[in-house]
Amino acid sequence: MLNRFVFMFAGAVLGAVLLTIVASATTAPVTLVRTRRFARRQELLVTSSNGPLVVRALAVTHRWRVLGLTTGLVLGVLWALRDARLTISFSAGFLGWFVGAVVAEWRLAGLPVEGGRRTASLTRRTVRGYLRMDSTVLLALACLALAGLAVAVVARSDGDGAVVAQAAAWLLVAALGLGALWATLLRVVSRPQPGSSAELVAADDALRARSANVLAGSAIVAAGYPAASLLTLMADPASTDSVSAWGAASLTCLVATVVVGWLVAVRRSPVRTRPAADVVATSPGVAP
């Protein structure tokens, strides 16, 4: 009883610390360093005209991602306390971060624009125009790998209903996640665009491209969880060597998807297709 009380008290303290961190992070202004990093990655010149749009968008995405991350970590701690354990679940934290990132993109659709109302573009915007080619290819490969793993697990199960059910469940989770990702990407590219100046359009396009590639990278990381679980199902429970080997493969897969997803998210992601009239011919950075 005493141990449970100690764990609950420690969990409450940890939760309070996390909530303090998120309160500080969500109210902190967007720094010049962060704005410059965004401008460099997107090859965008941030000016007095499009600066407010960029800063507000960065603030919204940062706020919701931090809120999602913290909520996931707190829920993970509370779940562990049910068994008198005090552990931090990075899986729960990442899931919360991903949900926060998705919510942020939907929130950005209603972001007000100074200097003019949002308008519909005469040029058709597509997901392909904002996702880098490597992001598209790697995301497609992740989806194909998941489907292939599910088929392999079923083929090796010898009709074991429990294994087949687990494989189907993970495949369903992956499909639902992919559906949510695709819906969010469509929302990113289809939301109305500011039409008052070329600089605003360029900044808005840069924000869309950044969001699309961060979401793609996050989805690749998320795909690592069902993939790792499917790999563990490939093991023969009666063989210690088989369990160890497939466990190592599962861990390797998880680490690989985290690394690849992170690289996809942080690489430069300028808009792949943009009407010539909308291009601002300037060097990336923040105008003085």
Which structure tokens are listed for 47? 């000016």
| pLDDT over 50 at 272, yes or no | yes
How far apart are the C-alpha atoms of 203 and 56, rounded to whole Å? 12
How far apart are the C-alpha atoms of 195 and 120, rounded to whole Å? 8
Q: Is 100 helix (H, G, I), strand (E, B) or coil?
A: helix
Within 13 Å of residue 160, how many CA atoms lie on the same side as its CB? 15
Q: Is 96 helix (H, G, I), strand (E, B) or coil?
A: helix
β-bridge pairing 45-46 and 285-286: parallel
How far apart are the C-alpha atoms of 2 and 28, rounded to whole Å? 39
Confidence (pLDDT) at 220: 92
Name which of 71-85, 175-189, 219-233 the model is least confident about: 71-85
Mean pLDDT taken over the chain = 80
The residue-averaged pLDDT of 235-248 equals 88
Q: Token match 């354990």: residue?
A: 85
Question: What are all long-range contacts of 86-92, with beta carbons under 8 Å and residues at least 24 apart?
Answer: 86/7, 86/10, 86/11, 86/14, 88/14, 91/225
What CA–CA distances, in Å, run from 27 to 24, 104, 110, 249? 6, 15, 20, 42
253 confidence band (pLDDT: 50, 70, 90): very high
Q: How is the chain split into domains, by residue range?
A: 2-279
Confidence (pLDDT) at 227: 92
| pLDDT over 90 at 30, yes or no | no
52 confidence band (pLDDT: 50, 70, 90): confident
Q: How big, in percent rounded to 5, are the helix, strand and coil portions of the chain?
A: 75, 5, 25
Strand partners for 285? 45
How far apart are the C-alpha atoms of 223 and 26, rounded to whole Å? 28
Whether the model pTM is above 0.85: no
10 confidence band (pLDDT: 50, 70, 90): low
The residue-averaged pLDDT of 4-32 equals 63
279 confidence band (pLDDT: 50, 70, 90): very low
Confidence (pLDDT) at 139: 93
* Cβ atoms of 250 and 228 closer than 8 Å: yes
How far apart are the C-alpha atoms of 7 and 80, rounded to whole Å? 10
Maximum C-alpha span of the chain = 70
| pLDDT over 60 at 115, yes or no | no
Q: What percent of the chain has pLDDT over 90?
A: 20
Neighbours of 35 (CB within 10 A): 17
How far apart are the C-alpha atoms of 96 and 74, rounded to whole Å? 10
Which structure tokens are listed for 33? 């360093």
